[in-house]
């Protein structure tokens, strides 16, 4: 199951319904729209309505895909989803020849010569970018920098001149498709230093309005944790504070992400445990979920993180023990 809930009505942040082969995202009640999120969504919608493609750039778990789907649901058009892939060639976006149709003509009048004429016609199968441009869909190209830059070249004329160039169809006279006026595009990407991410060509970046996304503010993270896990608000506050504190300690201060908050919240809700220092089950879940992100902080080859996690839980969940809180802060 994918994280944004395709196929899972209950957990979906954006519900997806398929009508006539098209995907229609619908706003869902589990989408959290705090003032911060709303401002971002409104700004994006405004740029799109003015005809500009928008690009959400940010590290993992900052809510890029979720926001893209949410904004697309507000545009009220079918959505075409593409996920960037290193294996992509241009035909994966545009389409390609899929076999051929053969027709045979037998000349019955000249009996002496059996004349056969075979006509081979290639069958062109549209691929998703072509379909989206023709229909006026909202294109969400998720993690587009995972595709090699040359695979994305077709987008340059789509976004610049509103023309899709299909050179392989030029012979049949359909080498160009005029992009439907309702066509809009939203892109997401992770930073270039992420594994498997390509550098983007400047020409494409030049056509996009790039919005940098960091982690949501504390209030939004708490609201998302409650909405996505069903945990009590007081527990969500503790979980989010622990995760935010650990972001400052690890080698990568983008992690742990909101996904860790949601995971801890869901497990807690299922176990009917509470986010308290004296709840052994809670401490165990925190260590297991948060350990991978923080394991790189070592002393003498030993990971310091289980101990760090315990200290942070204690600091966040037992504020009355001020002397401990001070020690953690100074560590
Ligand atoms: N506004 C929101 N309302 C509800 N849930 C949200 C919201 N924003 C993010 N989330 C949740 O946070 C998690 C991370 O969000 P998302 O998958 O959109 O991040 P991302 O930036 O696309 O991450 P990645 O770069 O790893 O793909 C998801 O579980 C998503 O459901
Ligand atoms: Mg994503």
Per-residue pLDDT tens over the stretch 279-299: 999 999 999 999 876 556 666
pLDDT of residue 195: 81
pLDDT of residue 10: 39
* Mean pLDDT comparison of 8-17, 86-95, 307-316, highest-scoring range: 307-316
Residue 325 has pLDDT above 60, yes or no: no
Cα 3 to averaged position of ligand 2 atoms, centre (Å): 8
Cα 94 to averaged position of ligand 1 atoms, centre (Å): 29
User: 4 pLDDT band (50/70/90 cuts)?
Assistant: very low
More confident residue, 114 or 230: 230
At how many degrees (to 10) do helices 280-294 and 258-271 cross?
160
Cα 137 to averaged position of ligand 1 atoms, centre (Å): 23
Q: Which of 88-97, 154-163, 224-233 has the lowest mean pLDDT?
A: 88-97
Q: How far is CA 171 from CA 100, 164, 203, 243, in A?
A: 15, 16, 28, 58
pLDDT of residue 201: 84
Average pLDDT over all residues of the chain: 82
Backbone angles phi, psi at 151, to 5 degrees: -70, -20
Cα 7 to averaged position of ligand 1 atoms, centre (Å): 16
Residue 231 has pLDDT above 80, yes or no: yes
pLDDT of residue 6: 38
CB count within 10 Å of CB 111 equals: 7
More confident residue, 39 or 323: 39
Residue nearest to atom 14 of ligand 1 (CA): 61
Cα 228 to averaged position of ligand 1 atoms, centre (Å): 10
Instruction: Tell me what percent of the chain is helix, strand and coil, each rounded to the nearest 5.
Output: 45, 20, 35
pLDDT of residue 17: 64
More confident residue, 162 or 125: 162
Q: Name the closest ligand to CA 35.
A: 1
Point out the ligand 1 atom lying closest to the alpha carbon of residue 3: 29
Cα 65 to averaged position of ligand 1 atoms, centre (Å): 6
User: 99 pLDDT band (50/70/90 cuts)?
Assistant: low
Paired with 18 in beta bridges are 23
Instruction: Classify 59 as helix, strand or coil.
Output: coil
Q: Are the C-beta atoms of residues 121 and 95 closer than 8 Å to each other?
A: no
Residue 22 has pLDDT above 50, yes or no: yes
pLDDT of residue 312: 92
- Mean pLDDT value across residues 265-272: 95
Structure confidence by residue, pLDDT tens digits, 173-220: 667 889 999 999 999 999 887 788 888 889 999 999 999 999 999 999
pTM: predicted TM-score of the whole model, two decimal places: 0.83
Point out the ligand 1 atom lying closest to the alpha carbon of residue 70: 1
Q: Are the C-beta atoms of residues 84 and 142 closer than 8 Å to each other?
A: yes
Residue 3 has pLDDT above 50, yes or no: no
Q: Name the closest ligand to CA 29.
A: 1
More confident residue, 197 or 90: 197
Residue 321 has pLDDT above 60, yes or no: no
Residue nearest to atom 7 of ligand 1 (CA): 63
The alpha helices in the chain, defined as continuous H runs, are: 35-49, 64-75, 90-94, 128-135, 154-160, 202-205, 218-229, 233-247, 258-271, 280-294, 305-317, 322-330
pLDDT of residue 128: 84
Paired with 56 in beta bridges are 188, 211
Residue nearest to atom 1 of ligand 1 (CA): 32
More confident residue, 122 or 331: 122
Residue nearest to atom 18 of ligand 1 (CA): 63
Site residues for ligand 1, CB cut-off 6 Å: 3-4, 13, 30-32, 37, 58, 60-66, 188, 190, 224, 227-228, 258-259, 262
Q: Percentage of residues in the chain with pLDDT exceeding 90?
A: 51
Point out the ligand 1 atom lying closest to the alpha carbon of residue 257: 14
For a ligand 1 pocket test, name from 61, 188, 215 the mutation site with the most ligand atoms within 8 angstroms of its C-beta. Answer: 61
Q: Are the C-beta atoms of residues 80 and 137 closer than 8 Å to each other?
A: yes
Which DSSP category does 150 fall into?
G
pLDDT of residue 11: 44
Residue 138 has pLDDT above 70, yes or no: yes
Cα 39 to averaged position of ligand 1 atoms, centre (Å): 17
């Amino acid at each position: 199951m994918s994280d944004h809930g395709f196929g899972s009505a209950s957990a979906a942040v954006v519900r997806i319904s398929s009508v006539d082969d098209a995907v229609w995202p619908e706003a869902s009640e589990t989408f959290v729209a705090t003032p911060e999120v709303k401002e971002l969504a409104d700004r994006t919608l405004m740029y799109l309505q003015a005809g500009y493609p928008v690009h959400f750039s940010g590290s993992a778990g900052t809510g890029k895909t979720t926001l893209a789907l949410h904004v697309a649901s507000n545009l009220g058009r079918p959505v075409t989803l593409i996920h960037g892939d290193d294996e992509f060639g241009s035909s994966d976006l545009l389409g390609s020849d899929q076999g051929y149709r053969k027709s045979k003509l037998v000349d019955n009048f000249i009996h002496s010569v059996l004349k056969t004429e075979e006509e081979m016609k290639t069958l062109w199968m549209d691929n998703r970018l072509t379909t989206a441009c023709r229909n006026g869909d909202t294109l969400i190209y998720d993690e587009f920098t995972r595709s090699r830059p040359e695979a994305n070249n077709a987008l340059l004329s789509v976004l610049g001149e509103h023309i899709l160039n299909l050179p392989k169809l030029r012979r049949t006279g359909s080498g160009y498709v005029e992009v439907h006026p309702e066509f809009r595009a939203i892109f997401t990407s992770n930073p270039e230093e992420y594994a498997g991410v390509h550098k983007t060509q400047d020409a494409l970046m030049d056509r996009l309005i790039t919005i940098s996304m960091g982690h949501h503010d504390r209030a939004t993270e708490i609201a998302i944790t409650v909405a996505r896990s069903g945990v009590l608000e007081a527990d969500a506050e503790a979980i989010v504070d622990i995760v935010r504190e650990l972001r400052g300690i690890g080698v990568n201060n983008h992690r742990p992400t909101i996904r860790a908050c949601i995971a801890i919240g869901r497990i807690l809700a299922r176990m009917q445990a509470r986010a308290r220092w004296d709840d052994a089950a809670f401490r165990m879940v925190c260590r297991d979920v948060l350990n991978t992100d923080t394991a790189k902080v070592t002393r003498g080859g030993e990971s310091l993180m289980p101990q760090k996690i315990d200290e942070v839980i204690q600091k966040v969940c037992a504020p009355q023990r001020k002397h401990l809180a001070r020690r953690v802060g100074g560590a």
